[in-house]
Amino acid sequence: MPPTITAFERSPDGGKGLARDTRVRWALEEVGQPYEVRLVSFKAMKEPAHLALNPFGQIPTYEEGDLALFETGAIVFHIAQTRAGLLPKDAHARARAIAWMFAAVNSVEPPILELQNALLLERDKPWAAERMPAVKDRIRDRLRQLSVALGDAEWLDGAFSAGDLMMASVLLRLRASGLLDEFPTLAAYVARAEARPAYSRAFAAQWDVNKPAGG
Amino acid sequence: MPPTITAFERSPDGGKGLARDTRVRWALEEVGQPYEVRLVSFKAMKEPAHLALNPFGQIPTYEEGDLALFETGAIVFHIAQTRAGLLPKDAHARARAIAWMFAAVNSVEPPILELQNALLLERDKPWAAERMPAVKDRIRDRLRQLSVALGDAEWLDGAFSAGDLMMASVLLRLRASGLLDEFPTLAAYVARAEARPAYSRAFAAQWDVNKPAGG
């Protein structure tokens, strides 16, 4: 029985691949693991059956036999831990790849989520325009540091890993803001990630669900 | 050679135990691993020697033989992975404990970091007072869901794990805001975590560094 993940019945991003199921689809494609998808509506996500899988009422979730998991980072880690292809075998290199996974979700993504809140939830507030530069500058600080850490390397630490998968996925959220393009090194890094066949397959799979009618 | 972690030469919280080195100290205490501490100044944190350890110029870092790690979540995970006491042996229970680690840093902490930014960086802005209720409500949404998930259990999933260590550490940051006390179940959960002897030792160790002169 292949694992089953959940995804939005209709993603709020209209198929840009920014919903978090794309991260899990990508991980599954990288390791060559077939999977099934159960689509859930916004309404169903807040109902007991889904809350039993994810207490925060979000997608994706992951079910495989007796195991039920939530949290994208944890699901990607579980896939990487149980299949070959996303984490180095060497124990130290593996620990460093995991460090980049946590860096993606705890050092880089939080200021990006703050921008998202500013754009989605506070766009009509009187402070929206005046507050925006500082929100963006907090992201720029992180991108500058990340750009230095990457240097002219292809990936963050040796071969492509779950750390790169998570980091590129987080950075992708910035493209529409223009902030990613301010850091050509990082824009090129994300483009390399998107060029991976596994990413293309993951993107196509979510597009198939979310593309506009007639798209 | 015991591992060496870095911590603030003087924590901005004045010894409340909210700097992230406390999380790592706590994990080391839980597994009974002695450690050494190298204190770094704000200036030194932004210099090349420290940036080579942590590209974001933050504490804590972790050095053990040839291994150098950054990111609190990754360091706690590494400690839990290499010593007994912080992750269940059963593979499924272990994956679920790791899910709570990611939930702490990626679902619960981001809105708390947004509150912290509002209080520290935007406190003098004209929108500070009017914006605050919505910032706090985004945290309340998460706390309500987390409180339901915890129910009347002692810990999030069976025995105390690295997931609880991370979640309680994240929630601790809310005490001063009064938000934690709005959810008695979670306040009691955090109190149970703080009552652990390993937490007390970790707290005392950081207090010893950060206590006010004469304190």
CATH code for the domain of B34: 3.40.30.10
pLDDT in tens, A190-207: 999 999 999 999 999 999
pLDDT of residue A214: 67
Please indicate, yes or no, whether residues A110 and A34 belong to a single structural domain of this protein.
no
Angle at CA A59, nearest 5°, toward A159 and A179?
A: 55
Give me the domain span that covers residue A206.
4-85+198-210
**Pairs of residues, one from chain A and one from chain B, whose beta carbons lie less than 8 Å apart:** 130
Residue A112 lies in a domain: yes
Residue A215 lies in a domain: no
User: Residue A20: which of A122, A95, A105 has the closest Cα?
Assistant: A105
pLDDT of residue B212: 87
Please indicate, yes or no, whether residues B61 and B122 belong to a single structural domain of this protein.
no
Please indicate, yes or no, whether residues A48 and A64 belong to a single structural domain of this protein.
yes
Q: Which residues contact A82 (CB under 8 A, 6 or more apart)?
A: none
As a 3-state breakdown, chain A gives helix, strand, coil percent values, each rounded to 5, of 60, 10, 35
Residue A100 lies in a domain: yes
Residue B215 lies in a domain: no
Q: Using an 8 Å CB-CB cutoff, list chain B residues near A96.
A: 67, 69
Instruction: Please indicate whether, in this complex, the C-beta atoms of A122 and B106 are within 8 angstroms of each other.
Output: no
Please indicate, yes or no, whether residues A187 and A111 belong to a single structural domain of this protein.
yes
Please indicate, yes or no, whether residues A77 and A36 belong to a single structural domain of this protein.
yes
- CA torsion sign for A45, A209, A6, B78 is negative
Across all residues in chain B, what is the average pLDDT? 97
Residue of A nearest to B156 (CA): A55
pTM of the model: 0.97
Residue A38 lies in a domain: yes
Residues A10, A8: Cα–Cα separation, whole Å: 5
Please indicate, yes or no, whether residues B192 and B96 belong to a single structural domain of this protein.
yes
What residues 143-172 of chain B have any CB closer than 8 A to a CB of chain A? 145-146, 148-149
Please indicate, yes or no, whether residues A20 and A72 belong to a single structural domain of this protein.
yes
pLDDT band for position B187 (cuts 50, 70, 90): very high
Please indicate, yes or no, whether residues B179 and B103 belong to a single structural domain of this protein.
yes
Please indicate, yes or no, whether residues A187 and A107 belong to a single structural domain of this protein.
yes
User: Residue B111: which of B94, B97, B132 has the closest Cα?
Assistant: B132
Interface test mutation site (partner A, options B102, B114, B142, B144, max chain A beta carbons within 10 A): B102
pLDDT in tens, B55-67: 999 999 999 999 9
Please indicate, yes or no, whether residues B34 and B58 belong to a single structural domain of this protein.
yes
Residue A105 lies in a domain: yes
pLDDT in tens, B76-113: 999 999 999 999 999 999 999 999 999 999 999 999 99
Residues A215, A213: Cα–Cα separation, whole Å: 5
